[in-house]
Structure 1
Amino acid sequence: MNRFMEVLENVLMPVADKLNNNRYLTALRNGFMVALPLIIFGSIFVVIANFPFLDKLISEDAYAAYQNALGPASAATLSIMGLFVIIGIGYKMVEQRGGEAIYGGVVALAAFLILTPQVLDEVSGVIPTSVLGAQGMFLGIFTAFIAAEIYQAIVKKDWTIKMPAGVPGAVARSFSALIPIALTLTVFLAVRVIFSYTPFLTVQDFIYTLIQEPLTVLGSGLPATIIAVLLIQVFWFFGLHGQIIVNSVFDPIWYALNDQNLQAFQAGEELPNIVTKQFIDTFIVGIGGSGMTLAVIIGIFVIGKSRQMKELGKLGAPSGIFNVNEPIIFGLPIIMNPLVIIPWLVAPVIVALVTYFSMATGIVPKPAGIIVPWTTPAVLSGFLATGNHIMGAVLQLVNIAIVFVIWFPFLKIMDKQYYANEKNAE
């Protein structure tokens, strides 16, 4: 066991540290955080617009009018969430370098719009919302990175217009950003012109065909999902926030898959994907936090004899209900504790397999693409994430039972040790 832990520490710790401190992944993660309140707002109204059995309680015309009235809430947020992520990434990229962050956000957005075809069904001046959402997110991410880097490089070269001392600060900053923004956007305009002479015609088609589509297929598969879940657990075991590190890489893929399901759900079509953002967040992380420690808290209340276990259960339960599990991770403890490494690694993988095959066989509906806030308690979150279906809640209860059974003997051993130590100390 010690040798295994030593290998994990020597191999994974340096990698995790680099990922955690990488400025691009940090900007990507923080960019999604900028968009998150808007995404959650849109998701809440998707749930409200699709209350179960409502279409049976009111007339067809009334139901259509009801959905049309609430539709703009998701159309103006979820359907174009790529725009918010782009602004967030550009903002955070420039902010990291100590620059005028707001111009990083707007130059990233403008660069993306320059690359975006503004024609739909031969009507010019129209941008399809599909390219502003999941389909265009990969291009938006790359564009935001590159635009922010070019902008900041030009600012560092001091190619700026300097206004006299008496000019108001807002005006001076605006003129100072003029040349860096103009040169940055000129680069992207040139890229658009160049791609118009290629077989792809647009950068969107190039990115989607050669990069986004293959990565999305890979990320939607079970093997990649199991690897992601395992990495989250391993990083946390060594005291690193595994969710943040892994999500920085996988979130663009999972959100794209999520959006595909949401579009199908709203259109009343079959949902295409099992693995989505909500597959991970609701049916694994959303059951007490990383490692699904709500079941661990239940186990502590069931078997706890030692004062340490009892107090830890009281401390961890209130936050654990809302999927905040730092009291358990640091109090049990889980970090660097060889006694818990087996259930800590194994339980989420088993749950991921059970969840995947439950949805693949149709026993439980696939996630409907609704972004449920991560603090939503288990059972309710499963119900909402599957489009208000009771089997989503049932699956979460099954998952809690699985984790409880796997952890039970290990908690017994730990509690016995703590109890003996307390007796000896008396």
Structure 2
Amino acid sequence: MAGFMSFLERKAMPVAGKIAAQRHIRALRDGLAVTMPLIIVGSIFMILGNIPIDSVNEFINSVLGEGFTSKFLYPTRVTFDIVAILSVFSISYQLARDKDVDGVSAGAAALSAFLLLIPVITLNTELADGTALNLGRIWQTANLGAGGLIVAILTAIVSTEIFIFVTKKNWVIKMPDSVPPAVAKSFAAIIPGLIIITLFFILRLFFEATSYETIFNFITKFVGAPLSRVGLSFGGMLATVFLYMVFWTLGIHGTRVVFGVMDSVLLPAMDANRIALEAGEVLPNIVTKQFYDNFVNIGGCGAAIGLVIAILFVAKSQQMKTLGKLALGPALFNISEPIIFGVPIVMNPIMMIPFVLSNVSIALISYGAMYFNLVSYPAGLAIPWTVPAPISGFLATNGDWRAVILQLIAIALSAVIYVPFVKVWDKQKSLEELSAVQDGELDDEFNQLLGAND
């Protein structure tokens, strides 16, 4: 272990540092970090809205009103469901600021370009007397959340680079020095904004002329099409796990992108197991929706519960210790966004490695345990993904106590995988905190000297 940590510090950290210092990656990391507070808040309400105990839900509804538990998801919609909007603006802002360009104007242009790519739906209804009523026009909201994150990231980078290029070339409307700076900046952003909006308008028209209809459909189909061919095989399962984990490390909602396609294969497989269970026959499929939800993604994507445990046991920096405490609750209910964006895992060359490795390892031991009949196959029962382990494994296998042991082993394995990487990352955070304290002390001493000289 000590030798491995030494290797990480001597070899991996310098390379990771260079990668992390690249301005686009730095902008992605810092830009996505803006979403973390809202994601944590949204996670709390998501847990309340998806409590996997019917009696608790019934009690809440009886006290607060019928169907009240679904209202807990209102805050989730204004946190999780606007991740792409926040990201496109904040990433653009970080990129522009790095080049000493007006970040607010660049962010506004990028946000407008992103929204331009999203289809607008007209809502109509018919009144009782047959009169048609137009309810207005709305954007497809699925693209405003994590499902649209990959397009948001690309839009932010392309749009902002155009904004920087045009601004640096001085192709802007200049105002006299007597004009207030805020007004001067708004005029300076007109030409860059016009170029950006025009180009993204053409991009939208291009995709509308294709069978994909939108760039969002193109991304989904381009990424997901190969997955539909691998199906339920062992190799396909590993490829699926690896792919959606890598997507998450890039800031893309891997689960939504990959399983948007894979669910068309996994749900029928789940139902086939249910039918076999009811008929008293041998269950045909290991890989089903529950295999991923209740065994592979234990504690959330990247086996987040293992990461949280590793942080709570070995972290010494205040940042990591605090994050571990905050992320523990969501991770128990398999919600991993707080830890993914909090550490962050996204665009983090060190933490990306165990994030992918832990889920792949858990997938291997889970598949192997079921293939060799050490644990029952998922029984085709639709167990909510928020049910905590090891309860979820017991229920998903129709009461096989060996599934409980499998889940506990998986959690322990993921924690062990994370520990050396957490130690290296935590050491870096501790040094940053120490540096910040020392800088503060030097500032205090400097101010005291100034006071003495006065």
TM-score (norm 1): 0.60
In structure 2, the partner of 1:177 is: 189
Provide the residue aligned with 1:118 in structure 2: 120
| Aligned equivalent of 1:34 | 34
Instruction: Please say if 1:165 is aligned against 2:177.
Output: yes
User: Does structure 2 retain, via aligned residues, the 8 Å contact 1:35–1:85?
Assistant: yes
Superposition map of 1:318-397 within 5 A: 323=324, 353=364, 361-362=377-378, 368=385
Q: CA deviation at 1:189?
A: 0.8
Query: Could you tell me which of 278, 288, 296 is aligned with 2:300?
Result: 278
Match of 2:98 among 92, 96, 107: 96
The Cα of 1:400 is off from its aligned counterpart by 6.4
Corresponding residue SS for 2:309:
coil
What amino acid is aligned across from residue 159 of structure 2 in structure 1?
A: A
* Residue 105 (structure 1) aligned to one of 104, 107, 112: 107
Question: Are residues 1:156 and 2:168 paired?
Answer: yes
Task: Decide whether aligned partners of structure 1 residues 178 and 316 sit closer, same or farther in structure 2, where only a CA change above 3 A counts.
Answer: closer
Counterpart residue number, 1:135 = 147
Letter in 2 for 1:92: Q
> What secondary structure sits across from 1:191 in the alignment?
helix
3-state DSSP of counterpart to 2:173: coil
Deviation at 1:178, TM superposition (A): 1.6
Go from structure 1 to structure 2 and tell me whether the alpha carbon gap of 1:138 and 1:199 turns closer, same or farther (over 3 Å shift). Answer: same
Q: Which residue of 2 aligns with 1:75?
A: 77
Q: Does 20-29 or 174-183 show the bigger shift?
A: 20-29
Q: Which of 71, 85, 88 is residue 86 of structure 1 equivalent to? A: 88
Q: How does 1:297-312 map to 2 (within 5 A)?
A: none
Query: Would the alpha carbon gap of residues 383 and 50 (structure 1) be closer, same or farther in structure 2, given more than 3 Å must change?
Result: farther
Q: Which amino acid aligns with 2:93?
A: Y
Question: Separation in 2 of the partners of 1:166 and 1:317?
Answer: 48
CA distance in 2, matches of 1:205, 1:318: 38
SS at match of 2:310: coil
Paired residue type of 1:201: E
- Partner Cα separation in structure 2 for residue 194 and residue 110 of structure 1: 18
Query: What is the match of residue 199 of structure 1?
Result: 211
Distance in 2 separating the partners of 1:54 and 1:323: 27
Q: SS of the residue aligned with 1:252?
A: coil
- Report the RMSD for the aligned CA atoms in angstroms: 5.4
User: Which digits, 9 at most, give the CA deviation of each residue in 1:162-211, with x for residues without a partner?
Assistant: 22222222111111112111211111111112222222222222222113
Instruction: Indicate if the aligned counterparts of 1:258 and 1:278 stay in contact, CA closer than 8 A.
Output: no
Give me the identity figure in percent. 28
Q: Report the residue type matching 2:39 in the other structure.
A: I
Render the CA deviation track for 1:224-248: whole Å, top value 9, x for unaligned: 757999xxxxxxxxxxxxxxxx888
Q: CA deviation at 1:74?
A: 0.8
Compute the TM-score of the two structures, normalised by the length of structure 2. 0.56
User: Are 2:147 and 2:257, in contact at CA under 8 Å, matched by a contact in 1?
Assistant: no
Give 1:316 shift. 8.4
- Contact 1:283–1:355 (Cα < 8 Å) also in 2: no
Deviation at 1:60, TM superposition (A): 6.9
CA positional deviation for 1:253:
4.0
Query: Does the 8 A contact of 2:92 with 2:156 survive in 1?
Result: yes
Q: Return closer, same or farther for 1:38/1:384 CA change in 2, 3 Å cut-off.
A: farther
What are structure 1's unaligned runs of at least 5 residues?
230-245, 264-268, 298-312, 325-342, 371-380, 408-426
